[in-house]
Every structure is written in structure tokens, then in C-alpha cells.
């Protein structure tokens, strides 16, 4: 709890400015499970003039649009009303399912409840929000539970059609946590899992793997076709020990040409799953196919 921090509006503005100048197209907003329940957090919010973290997030999303960056919010478990509030100012949103298994590492953390996470994903589907979810591999689940988690994601997409990508993420043990001594999954386990997910999920769902956490070369051969987002300005705050590769390094990791996409996938742009709040910016950033339009970096 002592390491918790809420970025001030000034800090957010500075990051957005640097991102825009670097040629970025997405602003990722993420925070822990119900941070408002952490001692001292409400005091921070009030100092910035906000009663609720969702209201603060909404204003920062609007600010990112002003800077020419499409927001993607991943704020944990949400009520349907909160998703409705955020939808007009987000190109897409996300929440990792992680696992349907009841594991020791999630004991005492209500935010990790699979039922609650599924409910949030269902709400997003009801609201036609392009959505990212995924599983964590190697957190104590069995193979059968892993397969069941992918099956559940498939069912949610078949009902609502809103899941644009599924992240297959390898668990990284962190010092000071309950699972600090846990063994991380190896490349063979990840390859097997990516193959399974690609076989089970509909073709319109993309498989993503994080290139700063594991070498993607073999995983691309197994069915992964998205390497997520990399940032030239910020670290991976969830995994600060794992630096982002730059574009040249990323291209060298795989045997296929890379093409930049936006936080909303082309298929959902074509379906019109976006609001007037980001429509003008999408028109500026996307090409005729719905990918990122070629751009020229400006250095300041």
C-alpha cells in the first residue's frame, strides 16, 4: 500500500504531451482493484477536485483525446453504469479474466473474483464496447482450468461479439507477494497454451502476447498475431522490471512484418462501435482499412 500513487492532472498532462510528440496513438489508463478503498486514496482525489475515481478517469480520457491520443481504460471491476459513463470517451476497454480457478494467490482479494470479472465483461458486451481480456498462465491453475477459462471467453464473445483480442500472459513472480517463490511458466507451456487458445477461439478474436515478458517468436508461430502496445515514454507499470522493446527490436523478434493498429480493432471501426466523442480523432488516425495511418514523427 505504501507504493500506491495517483498521478495528478499535471503529471497526466505531461505524459500525454510527451506521448503525442513521440507519435503515440493510444493512452492506456489502468489502476488496481477498487483503489478508492485504499486508505488515503480518497484524500488524494479530493485534492484534485474529484469525489470518485471514475469521474477523474473520465476527465483524463477527455484530456487524452484533446492531445490526439485514443483512450483505452482498464480500471478493474466496474458496474454497468460506470462502463456507460466511460464508453463515449474510450476507443476500447479491457479487463483480464485471469482464470476461472480458485487459486491461493487470489485469497482475500474480492477484485479477483471470476464471477465479478465475468459480469464486467458481460456488461461491456451489452454496451457494445470493443473489449480486451485474457488469461494469466502459471498462477496455480490446472490445464483443464486454463482451457475452461478460454472456453468462457469464447462463450462471452459468441453472445455479445465484443472481444477483439485475448492476451495470453505468462505469470511473473514478484518479490514481496504471496507468489514470490512461484515458478514462472516456460516457453513450451506458453506455446501449448497459445495453440490451445487459437484452436478454441473464433477467428475474429486476435491472440496477443506481451513481448516485454516473453520472446514472441515461437508464440507467433503458434497462433499469436498481436504484440500489444509499447511505449517510448513510459515503463510497463504493472511489470516495471521488464522494459519495453523499441520498434526495431520488436521487428527483430518476429519473422513477419509489423503493422500498427489502434486500440480499437479495424473490424469494430467498420461496425461503428465508437462514439461521437472519438469519431473525429479516429478519422484523423485511421487509414481506409482501420489501421494506423502513416505518420511522420516530430521532434521537439
Q: How far apart are CA 288 and CA 283, in angstroms?
A: 9
Question: Given pLDDT bands bounded at 50, 70 and 90, which one contains residue 102?
Answer: confident
Nearest Cα to Cα of residue 163 among 176, 150, 174: 150
| pLDDT, average across residues 272-290 | 96
Q: Which CATH architecture has domain 95-258?
A: Alpha-Beta Barrel (3.20)
The pLDDT assigned to 298 comes to 45
The pLDDT assigned to 5 comes to 77
Task: Give residue-wise pLDDT tens across range 221-242.
Answer: 999 999 999 999 999 988 889 9
Q: How far apart are CA 60 and CA 52, in angstroms?
A: 13
Instruction: Give the domain ranges of the chain.
Output: 1-92, 95-258
The pLDDT assigned to 118 comes to 97
CB-based burial of residue 98 (10 Å sphere; 0-12 exposed, 13-18 middle, 19+ buried)? buried
For residues 77 and 33, the answer to whether their CB atoms sit within 8 Å is: yes
Q: What is the pTM of this model?
A: 0.92
Task: Give residue-wise pLDDT tens across range 46-74.
Answer: 999 999 999 999 999 999 999 999 999 99
Task: Give residue-wise pLDDT tens across range 188-214.
Answer: 999 999 999 999 999 999 999 999 999
Q: How many CB atoms lie within 10 A of CB 45?
A: 17
The pLDDT assigned to 178 comes to 67
- Is the per-residue pLDDT at 40 higher than 90? no
- Angle, in degrees to the nearest 10, between helices 53-66 and 9-21: 30
The DSSP string of 162-202 is -EEEEEEEE----TTSTTTTPPPP-HHHHHHHHHHHHHHS-
- Is the per-residue pLDDT at 296 higher than 60? no
Q: How far apart are CA 104 and CA 93, in angstroms?
A: 28
Q: How far apart are CA 226 and CA 38, in angstroms?
A: 34
The pLDDT assigned to 300 comes to 34
- Is the per-residue pLDDT at 286 higher than 50? yes
Amino acid at each position: 500500500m505504501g507504493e500506491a500513487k495517483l498521478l495528478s492532472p499535471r503529471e497526466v498532462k505531461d505524459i500525454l504531451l510527451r506521448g503525442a510528440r513521440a507519435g503515440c496513438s493510444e493512452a492506456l489508463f489502468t489502476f488496481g482493484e477498487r483503489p478508492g478503498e485504499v486508505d488515503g486514496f480518497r484524500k488524494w482525489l479530493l485534492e484534485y477536485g474529484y469525489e470518485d475515481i471514475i469521474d477523474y478517469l473520465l476527465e483524463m480520457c477527455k484530456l487524452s483525446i484533446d492531445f490526439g491520443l485514443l483512450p483505452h481504460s482498464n480500471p478493474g471491476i466496474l458496474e454497468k453504469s460506470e462502463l456507460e459513463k466511460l464508453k463515449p470517451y474510450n476507443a476500447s476497454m479491457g479487463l483480464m479474466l485471469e482464470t476461472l480457478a480458485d487459486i491461493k494467490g487470489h485469497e482475500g482479494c474480492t477484485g479477483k473474483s471470476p464471477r465479478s470479472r465475468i459480469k464486467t465483461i458481460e456488461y461491456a458486451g451489452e454496451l457494445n464496447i470493443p473489449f480486451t481480456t485474457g488469461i494469466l498462465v502459471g498462477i496455480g491453475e490446472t490445464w483443464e482450468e486454463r482451457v475452461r477459462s478460454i472456453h468462457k471467453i469464447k462463450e462471452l464473445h459468441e453472445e455479445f461479439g465484443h472481444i477483439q483480442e485475448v492476451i495470453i500472459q505468462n505469470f511473473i513472480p514478484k518479490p514481496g507477494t504471496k507468489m514470490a517463490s512461484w515458478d514462472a511458466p516456460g516457453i513450451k507451456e506458453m506455446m501449448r497454451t497459445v495453440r490451445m487458445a487459437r484452436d478454441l477461439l473464433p477467428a475474429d478474436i486476435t491472440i496477443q502476447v506481451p513481448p516485454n515478458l516473453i520472446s514472441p517468436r515461437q508464440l507467433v508461430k503458434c497462433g499469436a498475431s498481436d504484440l500489444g502496445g509499447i511505449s517510448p515514454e513510459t515503463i510497463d507499470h504493472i511489470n516495471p522490471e521488464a522494459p519495453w522493446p523499441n520498434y526495431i527490436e520488436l521487428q527483430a523478434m518476429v519473422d513477419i512484418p509489423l503493422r500498427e493498429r489502434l486500440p480499437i480493432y479495424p473490424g469494430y471501426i467498420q461496425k461503428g462501435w465508437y462514439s461521437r466523442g472519438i469519431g473525429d480523432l479516429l478519422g484523423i488516425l485511421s487509414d481506409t482499412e482501420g489501421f494506423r495511418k502513416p505518420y511522420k514523427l516530430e521532434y521537439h
